[in-house]
Amino acid sequence: MQTPHVEPPRLSIDDLCATTGFTRRTVRYYLQIGLIDKPLGEKRGSYYLQHHLSQLLRIKQLSEAGVSLERIRLVLGGAESPVATPTPAIGSVAVKSHLLLAPGITVVIDPHEARLSPEGLRELITALTDAHQHITKVSK
């Protein structure tokens, strides 16, 4: 018995924008400069696939890390990723949250480096606290 051929999901430019947070203008610009592959189909019937979405998400990740578009082009072309943890400069100040879960368990969170909003930080702290409480109840 032969399995039926399943077409990959077709994505519109609006689907890409909704998922990545990029505007239509930005997606078209990235197309124009060759950072992402051209869509399939013609004009109004054109569509995108998962690999287009993956390209845009990688571009977003790199650009949020401060990588230039020219360097992103090289990375997408196979060059080594330029995103490394920068060494803090002498005299630089970093604000970090220290969450004491229990004696001997402290979680240090750098919200800026982790790209967490204040709400996201609160959610993470709540989740970690809940998880620790659950684990300690189970192990008793």
DSSP state string for 33-75: TTSSPPPBSSGGG-BB-HHHHHHHHHHHHHHHTT--HHHHHHH
Check residue 115 and give its pLDDT: 75
- Residue 5 in this model has a pLDDT that exceeds 80: no
Q: What is the mean pLDDT of residues 123-140?
A: 86
Q: Which residue has the tokens 């890409």?
A: 16
CATH top-level class of 13-76 = mainly alpha
Q: Average model confidence (pLDDT) for the chain? A: 84
Q: Where are the domains of the chain?
A: 13-76, 97-138
Token pair, residue 24, equals 């239509």
Check residue 80 and give its pLDDT: 65
Q: What is the mean pLDDT of residues 98-111?
A: 89
Q: What is the mean pLDDT of residues 93-115?
A: 84
pLDDT-based confidence at residue 140 (cuts at 50, 70, 90): low
Nearest one of 132, 110, 131, 130 to 121, comparing CA atoms: 110
Check residue 111 and give its pLDDT: 78
Residues 19-68 have pLDDT tens digits of 999 999 999 999 999 899 999 988 788 899 999 999 999 999 888 888 88
Q: What are phi and psi of 7, to 5 degrees?
A: -75, 140
